[in-house]
Structure 1
Amino acid sequence: MIDARIKFRHIQTFVEIARQKSVVRAAAILRVSQPAVTKTVRELEDVLGVTLFERDGRGIRLSRSGEIFLKHAGATMTALRQAVDSVSPDAARIGTPVRIGALPTVSVSIMPEAMASFLLENTGSTVKIVTGENAVLLEQLRVGDLDLVVGRLATPDKMTGFFFEHLYSEKVRFVVRAGHPLLTESTSIFERLHEFPVLTPTRNSVIGPVVDQFLLAHGVAPLPTRIETVSDAFGRAFLRTSNAIWIISEGVVVADIADGVLAVLPLDTTDTSGPVGLTMRADTQPSLPLSLLMQAIRETAATLSASRN
């Protein structure tokens, strides 16, 4: 039986602090005072008999108990939001909103065509598409800010409470501008990487560790000019005006390569191949509009995968 002392404000406050990782920011968003937020969390901890947050330098982080509680508290907030949407006159008029998180590779290669197909369904739903790093998107999915994340499969410790549906596999590529000197060079490309600026994924991105492991496996020493970025706009712009090398998921640059603007360095990157798919909370059911968009994504991914094989 649920303890009657636990109120909605306790769950809402806890989830917001977990989302913001800050009592001050949570208080601002909830439009209550900081002492009121602190008091609410302490009341919840007293009822549960556990500590939900721990000090982390000048900030805070979830305790182990807090991580476990968030899994269920986030599901509660998501279920409540869906319940409100199901009977809301506004939702009935404009359609249930759909909120998608997509990695940059998916935003470029999958989402445009999938969205075009989805719009033909005339659901009237407002669609929100957020692009960012995998860890950030999964956190937003966990607390109910997103309904679906489309991207690479995360590590097992990040997938607790989630369900993953595989769509296709994707490699990492080393790309350069057309006419780059390494395209006609007969010596080992790995031996010459240190001569150029190298753009890599951030170390906490989903393919960051994959890239680092690949470079180590091929004896590449630490790169003297390494720029970490997840911005595809910056990558394209920087390559146009420099001899930089961009290590990136092939889906991000497939159109640029087809247009002849960028070129792939002749390296075997089979070892970097990883699964791309749909990640959802395991404890929620998709709305009809979300189901329709998911099917559009599946069909677009199948067509893309077939064209690459």
Structure 2
Amino acid sequence: MSANLKLHQLRAFVQVARQGSIRAASRISGLSQPALTKSIQELELFLGARLFIRRQQGVVLTDMGDNFFRHASLVLEELRVAQEDIQQRLGLAGGQVNIGVGGSVARTLMPQVITQFHREYPLVKVRIVEGQLVSMIPELRQGELDFTISTYDRSHLDQELTCERLMQRKYKVAVRKGHPMEKARSLAELQQCEWTMPTPRGSYYRLLHDMFAERGIAPNIVVTCETFMACVSLVAKSDFVTILSVDVLDDPLLSQHLTALELDEPLPQATFYLIQRKDTALTPMSAHMAQLFRRSCQR
């Protein structure tokens, strides 16, 4: 990196890009608006390109700004990880671990892993993002997530991600207790029901989508729920049908409201992976968190 390019310029640029306005970035960073404006102007002058379009309600990235943002945010995250790595190796157990988890993992494995980790390293902050893998890819790419525990459908992302197989879990069709189709024994009987499922891209639900197509079944998916809580809340209080892991359906709190259908056709098992960027090593604390998930998956 050229000596003319300063870290404070990168930090100012990334903060403004994320917040969408200099005023909001000023509040978050504790820097004055003139200081942020000056840093960005210096950066644009150094690069010889306009990074933002100024508007009445804030700023938006130009095409060049958007491209530079991906690189700049990754550089800052790599520096953060490198600094924390040194501190942690010196025994200064601070820093932050950032992970992503699928909804079923958040409900089952995650609480005990996080509790144990916090007991061992109370000074380390933990950030947890829940959702489908497709929604977490941008943060993985930019280094904002250390790793995710998710299902994964092999794709073009193989070139930039490593996937370590952790466990397999059974899934079943789920409805509320007292649902009109509670006694159904086949997927064909459920075709006329209204379904809710996550986006199928790059996950176990892609596998289900393909399975339905192979069997000539087309569930009427009228609501797409990207979070676990939205899905189970909708199914528990309506006649929507979904597919959830058996671990989740065995949860005492959820089993009061949901029931798994005993269909004659078993659904494919879901394989969960520990997923991270190929070109990034985990910090000691992130590596320890990953190891706790490995142990938990083996039980």
The interval holding the TM-score normalised by the smaller chain is 0.7 to 0.9
| 2:290 paired with 1:291 | no
The CA deviation at 1:71 is: 6.4
Deviations 1:116-159 (A, max 9, x none): 33344345322222212323323223323322222122653345
Q: Which blocks of at least 5 consecutive residues in structure 1 are unaligned? A: 304-309
Give 1:200-279 correspondences, 5 Å limit.
200-203=197-200, 206-221=203-218, 223=220, 226-255=222-251, 259=255, 261-266=258-263, 267-270=265-268, 273-279=269-275
More off after superposition, 126-135 vs 207-216: 207-216
Amino acid at match of 1:173: K
Distance 1:170-1:44 versus aligned 2 partners, 3 A rule: farther
Aligned residues of 2:130 and 2:227 also touching (Cα < 8 A): no
Q: Which residue of 2 aligns with 1:190?
A: 188
Distance 1:102-1:287 versus aligned 2 partners, 3 A rule: same
> Structure 2 CA distance, aligned partners of 1:265 and 1:99?
38
* Structure with greater helix percent: 1
Give 1:34-45 correspondences, 5 Å limit.
none
Deviations 1:250-272 (A, max 9, x none): 454342599574213413222xx
Q: Which residue of 1 aligns with 2:115?
A: 116
Residues matched between the structures, number? 290
The CA deviation at 1:299 is: 0.7
Q: Which residue of 2 aligns with 1:175?
A: 174
The CA deviation at 1:28 is: 7.2
The CA deviation at 1:298 is: 0.2
> Structure 1 CA distance, aligned partners of 2:64 and 2:48?
13
The CA deviation at 1:241 is: 3.4
Amino acid at match of 1:291: A
The CA deviation at 1:9 is: 4.2
| 2:148 paired with 1:149 | yes
| 2:196 paired with 1:199 | yes
TM-score by length of 1: 0.71
Q: Which blocks of at least 5 consecutive residues in structure 2 are unaligned? A: 54-58
> Structure 1 CA distance, aligned partners of 2:64 and 2:203?
23
Distance 1:113-1:41 versus aligned 2 partners, 3 A rule: same
TM-score by length of 2: 0.72
The CA deviation at 1:107 is: 0.7
Aligned residues of 1:239 and 1:245 also touching (Cα < 8 A): yes
Distance 1:86-1:290 versus aligned 2 partners, 3 A rule: closer
